[in-house]
Amino acid sequence: MIGRVSAVNIWLAILGFATMILITVVLLKKKMNILLAFTVIPVIAGFIAMVITHTAFLDMGKWITSGIGKTYSITLMMMFSLPYFMLMSDTGLFDDIVKAVMRHVKISAPIICVLTVIVACICELDGSVTSVFLITVPLMLPLFEKFHIDKRILPFLVCVAILVMSNTPWNPKILRAASLMSGSGVSTRLFLKYVPVQIFMLVVLLILAVYFGIRARKNTTEKVEISNEDLLSQFKDTELTRHNRFWWNLLLTAFLIFVLIAFQGIPQYYVFAFGLVVALAINFPDQGQQTKLLKKYASSLFPVAPAVLLSGVVVGVMQESGMLDAMVKALMAIVPSAIGPYFYIIIALFATPLMLLFTNDTWFYALIPLIGAFSAKYGVPMDVVIVTLFSNFGAMISVIAQPQLYIATDLTGITIDQHIKFTFWKLWAINIIIVAFGVLSGVFLPKPLWA
């Protein structure tokens, strides 16, 4: 669709692309703090846009207010959901679930690889990538070494498991995505839409885990045995562990998830605010201890929660100034109309290598809004674009997007280069398989193929 583009639109498009590129570059090169980048750069671009369009400078406040209005409820959700799941982790809820699984399995190379996936998936329920690596890798590494399984497989399986489990209504990744849409209960709606893809991705990962385990077993003639008691002895209790509150914590968590899904009219942040205060009262009645824990969890919210809130400045200024619309018109003049309706799918197919050029924040706050606005011109809803581009696979080979990878490789005893070389092609293959499934199942299309 090639149309005539006015001089004003051309300059706005150039300004918009320059702003997006500048934010991406300064974050990739770590030249500027993410909060500063989201607060200052779009505002400067907005003032330049005002000069180009002869708009009153007072409108800047309206643009910022409009953008923050899209992200404040998501930020509130994050402020309560992340501390809640960190509290559940501290009480030993997830450890007890993992131990219950490990008590009933006979340890072998394929089982070890499958257990790695299961442990990583359970650990990721609290939304912290760092904790997944810190818990899963030290726990499973001795087993990988004892059963002669290639150590490079361990961080690979954990990384893909993190991608699988990033689709929960409270995960920081899906909250980033939800901030791009308006309305209540957005993260829950995106979660429910993505569930079929999530289940398929988990199945693919488990099949891969079994394959790696069988291959490792074939490559060694030495018979290795380890008791379940030795395995369970690696779990250590802390002063915060509350085994006697396991069922209370499990039922409370299940209740909160049920309310999120069944009663989407209730603000999500209130659901987890309720859950957090009740969980604190159940597990730690002493108010002094509750205060200490809240201070501890508060530190984990920075800079993620403020970044989500301030991303609204980027979105608000880009949209309200006309830059985003001009960028879309420029793309429509360049991209052939035959490709236009499927452009977001093409981007998704190349998500693994493309993430080497983005951070998580610029992927969600610079690329997806642009692709979403462009695809809307061809009748593709924003939620479809978001779920299609949601699993930015390449983040798990990019230390810029995911610096926690250094933790995984250091704990495993391999270099980051070894991880990238081992992971890249496998991850891209999974990327393509998942996109193909999403298209065939209709999740990644405005209408199913059979409609």
Per-domain residue ranges of the chain: 72-301
> Quick one: CA torsion of 364, 369, 374, 376, rounded to 10 degrees?
110
Cα 112 versus chain centre, distance: 25
**pLDDT tens-place string over residues 237-276:** 889 999 999 999 999 999 999 999 988 889 999 999 999 9
**DSSP H stretches of helix in 147-286:** 153-165, 172-178, 186-218, 228-232, 246-262, 268-283
Q: What angle do CA 364, 367, 67 make, to 5 degrees?
A: 60
CA 299/CA 295 separation, integer angstroms: 7
| Neighbour tally for 75: CB within 10 Å | 22
CA distance 84 to 77: 11
The answer to whether residues 416 and 399 touch, using CB atoms and an 8 Å cutoff, is yes
Residue type, 182: S
Do 311 and 176 touch, CB atoms closer than 8 A? yes
What pLDDT is attached to residue 386? 96
With a CB cutoff of 8 Å and minimum separation 6, the contacts of 164 are 121, 198, 201, 202, 205
Average pLDDT over the chain reads 90
pLDDT at residue 224 in the model: 66
Which pLDDT score is estimated for 2? 38
As a whole number, mean pLDDT of residues 295-309 equals: 85
In which band, very low, low, confident or very high, does the pLDDT at 1 lie, cut at 50, 70 and 90? Answer: very low
- CA 333, 339, 341 angle in degrees (round to 5)? 95
pLDDT band at 451 (very low <50, low <70, confident <90, very high): low
> Is pLDDT above 80 for 166?
yes
pLDDT digits (tens, 9 = 90+) for 115-152: 999 999 998 988 888 889 988 998 888 889 888 899 99
- Tens of pLDDT, residue by residue over 395-415, are 999 887 888 888 899 899 999
